[in-house]
Structures are given as C-alpha cells and as structure tokens.
Structure 1
Amino acid sequence: MIFIRPATPEDLDQLVQLASMTGFGLSTLPPDKEYLEKRLHEVNQSFAELMSGGKGQTFLFVMIEGEQVIGTCGIVTGAGGAMPFYAYRIDTMHVESTVLKICKAIRVLNLVDHYEKCCEIGSLFLRPDHAGKGLRGLGRLLSSSRFLFMAEHLEAFESVVIAEMRGVVDECGQSAFWESLGRHFFDVDFPKADYLSMKNKTFVSELMPRHPIYLPLLPAEAQTVIGHVHEKTVPALSLLQSEGFEPTNMVDIFEAGPIVRCAKEEVFTVRESRRSTIAKVTSGEPANTRCLLSNTQREFRACLGSIEEVINGEVRISHQVASALRVKKGDWIRHAPIPSSKRHMLHSSTGVK
C-alpha cells in the first residue's frame, strides 16, 4: 500500500534520482546530492526537535510504493521570520493629468523583503508515471498529508500557511519574466539564479532593484506570465484551492509565479480532521467513503483508506491501512474527508485562475 512517511538520510540516492525528473523551476528539490544530503540532515534534526517538545524548522516527507520513493512534499516554518523572504508585491498607482484629461491605473512591482511570520509548504513532486487521473488520488494524498501532520502538531506551526507556486518556465529553463527583469541585475540565467537562491539569498538583497517596477515598461510576454503557474503546476494549485488557499498580491521574484495563502486553522484538512480510537482491525476494507488517514505517533505515517465509524466515535479500519500506518486496535488515528476539487476557486488580477 502506498503511504507517506518522513524523509530520512537513507533516502538520499532515490531523492537525487527523483529530483532529476522535476524539470526547471522546482528550486527546493534540485538534483544536487550535496544540497539534498544537507537538507536531509536538517530534516532529521527538525523531526527530532519536534518530538522532543521543540518546533523544528524544515520537514520533508516522501511517498513510498514498495521500497521506492515516488514523491515528496514539505513544510518549512519561520518563513518571513528567521528565514529571509523576498517577493514582488503587485500594487496599483493612480495617476492623472488635468491638462490631457487622462486618469490611469498603473500596476507596479515593489520588492518586499519581509512577510508576516508564516510557515511555507513546498517541494511537492510526484513521479510523472504516477501522476494524472485514475491513479488513486496520489497527488491529493501527497499534498494533504502535510496538513494532517500540521493538525497533529498545531502549535508548532505559524498561524498562516503560504505556498510559492512554480511560475511559467519553458522546456529550456527560460523565464520570460526573468529575462525581461532579473537578468539585467544578476547576469545569470533563470535556472542558475533560482538554484543559487536555495543556497544563499544574500545576493537578492544586494542586487535586486529597490524602486518600483512599472509593469507597462516590461515586454508583453513578461507581463502575460505574471501570476500564472507552470502547466505542470496547475494540479498542485487546484489541490490547494480545494483546501481553501486564496491568492495574494505577491509573486515570486524569479519567474513571477503566484503566492497563495490560508490561515492555518482554516485549511480544510486541518479544520475537518479529527482523532478517533481504533475499535477493530478488519480483514476487508470498510465500504465507506475513502478519506485521508494518519497515525498520531512519533513515526508519522499517512495513507488513503476507508473507515467505518462505530459507537463512541471509535472506528474500524482494514489490516492494510493498519499496516501502512503501523497502528493496532486501541491506537489513535487522525482522519479527514477528501476535499472536493470544486469547493474553492481562485481568481485575481494577478492572473491566478
């Protein structure tokens, strides 16, 4: 049975292989063994800190089929606080000429180097041969498993959750937005700049323009992609829409992908999840509607499965689910309904659709 668990240093080689499939623009999962090894070490420390009563800072999860890593997802705490945060805020300036009898609303980009302290989700990737319809909702499990973990450790995460969505980048790694703006200040192409930003964001504060950027001065092809997501990121955005994430007036500084947000306790899976005790483990799967499931133990596990509610809020689960979650009769599990993909729609002037 396919399930989610925390990433460990032993996953390094498989993560490097998985990262080689991501293409351009997913900067938090580069095919860089040294970087991923360091990140796994930090992830290991974060889980240990959380289980010892601390908060931890970076959490990475992997999706497992058999012995194979087929997907990843992550959470980072302290974004905009201890961790540097840079984005462009889209503002509107109103200008008027009494002589020409003209009144215009002009959109501008303002660089911001702070954000209300929040946690950030990211590193969402599923092997291409496992993505798409008809594959048991693996994308949903991958995305929403983070929120089951968050619900179980609510106090460890800031009150606002954000996600920087991958923007429009072509198959050669070129970004029309970056080529029209950022390249003039950094003299490197988009893949290089995006990669460097994961290792050290100092160069951003040193070289990025501090004055407003008037959007009408950018080429039409650059204006067009602002606030739009990469075609392969559309499903990920749709999953977050169904969880209640909404657009902001902020975009990524590199390829202008949209930044979405949701109050932590208003995330659908966080809000609707609840704990139940396992009354019985059955040989067959209950016929009830499938839902998102996780254990409540130190070694986090999550999967898709069905439960049958019995008296006093207790539930029945299958042997298959019990094995995936490493639970037994009498243990607690957390469960949540699967959000409807049509329950929330995004629309904004930044081009998020």
Structure 2
Amino acid sequence: MMIVRPIKADDHTALRELASKTGPGFTSLQDNDQQVAAKMENALKAYNPATRGAEALFLFVMEDTETGEVVGVSGIESAVGLTEPWYNYRVGTLVHASRELKVYNQLNTLTITNDHTGYSELCTLFLAPDARHSKNGSLLSKSRFMFMAEFPQLFSDHLIAEMRGYSDENGISPFWEGLGRHFFSLDFSEADQLSSMDKVFIAELMPKNAIYTNLLPQDAQDAIGKTHNATTPARRLLENEGMRFTGYIDIFDGGPTLEARTNDIRAIQDSHYVKVHVADIQPEGELYMVSTNDFEDFRCCMTPLTSVGKHVVTVTPDVAEALNITEGSTVRVVPLSSGRRF
C-alpha cells in the first residue's frame, strides 16, 4: 500500500535518489547535492513551529508500506515571493491600429511581473517511473489538498502551480533558446539550476519592457503555455481539481502557471470528517483519499470505503495500520476523483 507522509531526516538518501531522476527543467528538485540538502533542511524546519518561517516548505514523500521504499515526493510552499522576488511573465495583448491604413493588429506581449507574491504554491511533484501506475500519481499530488484542508491557517487563500515547460527529446527548451538565452548567455540547464539557488540575477538581467511575442522564433511562440510531455498528466489532474491557466508563464521555459482560490479546489471543498470502523472485509468500488488529522504524523492513502452508518466508514486492518489509526478514529475523506460522497 502507498501512503503519503511528511518527509523525515532519514529520507535524505531517498530524496537525493529521486532528484537524480528528474531531468532538465525540473527546477524545484535537481540532481544537485547542495539543492537537495537545502530543501531537506527547509522542509524539516517547516514541521517545527519554532523554526517555521513565512515561506515554509512542506515536503511529503510517498512510501510503499510493504517495502519501505520511498517512490515519490511532493511539496507545498506556504507563500512565495516574501523574502526573494517571485517572477513570471504575464501574457497580454496590445492593439496597433490605423484607421487611415485600415490596419488593426492584436499582438501578444510578455511582461515580467511579481503578481503571485504571497500565494501558496504546489511544487516538487515527482514520482519514480516504476511507480507510475495504479493512480499513485493522483494520490501523491492530491494528498497535498488534504493537508491544506486540515491546516488552512498555514496557507494563502490563493494557490498556484508552475507546470514544467516544453522541451524536446534532447532537453532543449525552444522558449529559452528564442528568448532567455539572448539576455543570460547561459545554457537552459545552467540558468535553471542557478534560479533554484539564487534569483537575484533574474532581476539584473531580464528585460524590463514588454516583449512582442511575434518577434520570437515560431517554435518559441508555440512553446508559450505548453507543458512538458511528462507533465501533461499532472496538469490535467490539477485542472480537474479546479486550477486554471490564466496567462502567466515561467520566464525560463514558458510553462504555464495554474491558479485557483484555495477553497475552490474540489478535494478541499468536498473533504469531510468520518469515524472509522476497522473490520477485516474488502470494500469495493470508488477510491477515496483518507487522511489523518495529525500534523507531524499526517498520513494519507487511497482505498475503497464502505459506509456503515451516519459519518462512519469501514476500513481494513491494513489501512488502519498504514494510517496509524484505530477503531473510532476521526479521519478526513474525499473521493480521489469527483464523484459521490457519504
């Protein structure tokens, strides 16, 4: 059984192993010892109220309870842009018109902004290739909403998620090659790695004025708002939960930023409490996410549920053990995908 739980200090080796598999363009978890160590340190601080900062990083891992292997990671930044600027491009429109010449042109532009300052961010979602089956990706991503529903005071009223932008089979980003390289004189992978460690150079080198997209190479224009092939399923999953692309893109690879009001997310809005009855039966049917209400020992798994009374559901002993719950415990539940509720 797969469970999602807060990261712990002894997960460092597993996190480093996952980072070695992410590939170019995965800014938030790179094949870099320094970044992984810093991310682990920040995450451990987030789960300690005495050391938690305004921009807390809550990291979670997916663990196979049968083998003890960590197969995935996901995260939530409680707020972005409070201590270092948070940059993206806003896609806009300018009209150039002349009545005398009978010319009317609508031109797309890119303008650098800090519009999402203070928003919470879904980040660092990565599942090992061998574990990409049986809806594990859905659980790893959506379990974060259960944590946010349980501890809303830790997060903003608005939520964003930056999607990895398109790159070809050689890891080349056409958006970067058509735009960013002219200002940074760096390879995409190098600039991407630097941005994860220090964002000051972005402000120093990025153009301050609006950029007309029609002046970019066609392949760079085509990449605006386009996700990496491996990220498309994650985008669809978040869009099904209520997040939308509203015209903001990543300044490096042109990937879309999805956003929503936090309370409008389906899994947050529809989740609710039930009591558990533990019985050695095998429920069938729709999968539910089931999560505990502990903070440091938060756990979430997916399983079918059987209703046995008003606000009472049956779970198997295996599920109870995985979640560290007992007869009569209170848990939060919601369908893994949109559907009926108890």
Q: TM-score under structure 2 normalisation?
A: 0.94
The question of whether the paired residues in 2 share the 8 Å contact of 1:4 and 1:302 is answered with yes
1:246-325 equivalent positions in 2, closer than 5 A: 246-278=244-276, 280-298=277-295, 299-325=297-323
Residue of structure 2 equivalent to 1:164: 162
Structure 1 residue 56, shift from structure 2 partner: 6.5
Give structure 2 stretches of 5+ with no counterpart: none
Give structure 1 stretches of 5+ with no counterpart: 342-353
Distance in 2 (CA, whole Å) between partners of 1:263 and 1:329 is 35
Residue of structure 1 equivalent to 2:197: 199
1:59 aligns to 2:58 (yes or no): yes
Q: TM-score under structure 1 normalisation?
A: 0.91
Distance in 1 (CA, whole Å) between partners of 2:317 and 2:139 is 19
Distance in 1 (CA, whole Å) between partners of 2:55 and 2:279 is 36
Structure 1 residue 331, shift from structure 2 partner: 1.5
Residue of structure 2 equivalent to 1:33: 33
Distance in 1 (CA, whole Å) between partners of 2:192 and 2:73 is 19
Q: Which secondary structure state, in structure 2, belongs to the residue aligned with residue 216 of structure 1?
A: helix
Structure 1 residue 277, shift from structure 2 partner: 1.8
Distance in 2 (CA, whole Å) between partners of 1:31 and 1:9 is 19
Residue of structure 2 equivalent to 1:3: 3
Q: Which secondary structure state, in structure 1, belongs to the residue aligned with residue 49 of structure 2?
A: helix
Q: Against the structure 1 CA distance between its residues 82 and 114, is the aligned structure 2 distance closer, same or farther, given a 3 Å change threshold?
A: farther
1:143 to 129, 141, 144: 141
Distance in 1 (CA, whole Å) between partners of 2:214 and 2:57 is 39
Residue of structure 2 equivalent to 1:12: 12
Distance in 1 (CA, whole Å) between partners of 2:131 and 2:102 is 58
Q: Which secondary structure state, in structure 2, belongs to the residue aligned with residue 18 of structure 1?
A: helix
Q: Which secondary structure state, in structure 1, belongs to the residue aligned with residue 78 of structure 2?
A: strand
Structure 1 residue 173, shift from structure 2 partner: 2.4
The question of whether the paired residues in 2 share the 8 Å contact of 1:80 and 1:114 is answered with no
Distance in 2 (CA, whole Å) between partners of 1:80 and 1:34 is 21
Q: CA RMSD in A?
A: 1.8
The question of whether the paired residues in 2 share the 8 Å contact of 1:49 and 1:55 is answered with no
Residue of structure 2 equivalent to 1:327: 325
Distance in 1 (CA, whole Å) between partners of 2:191 and 2:170 is 15
Structure 1 residue 340, shift from structure 2 partner: 4.3
Letter matched to residue 171 of structure 1: E
Distance in 2 (CA, whole Å) between partners of 1:340 and 1:152 is 19
Residue of structure 1 equivalent to 2:75: 74
Residue of structure 2 equivalent to 1:345: none
Q: How many residues align?
A: 336
Identical-pair percentage = 36
Distance in 2 (CA, whole Å) between partners of 1:180 and 1:54 is 37
The question of whether the paired residues in 2 share the 8 Å contact of 1:78 and 1:158 is answered with yes
Letter matched to residue 253 of structure 1: I
The question of whether the paired residues in 2 share the 8 Å contact of 1:45 and 1:56 is answered with no
Distance in 2 (CA, whole Å) between partners of 1:159 and 1:325 is 28
Distance in 1 (CA, whole Å) between partners of 2:285 and 2:166 is 40
Q: Against the structure 1 CA distance between its residues 84 and 56, is the aligned structure 2 distance closer, same or farther, given a 3 Å change threshold?
A: closer
* Alpha-carbon displacement from aligned partner over 1:188-223 (angstroms, at most 9, x marks no partner): 111111111110100001110001100111011110
Residue of structure 2 equivalent to 1:118: 119
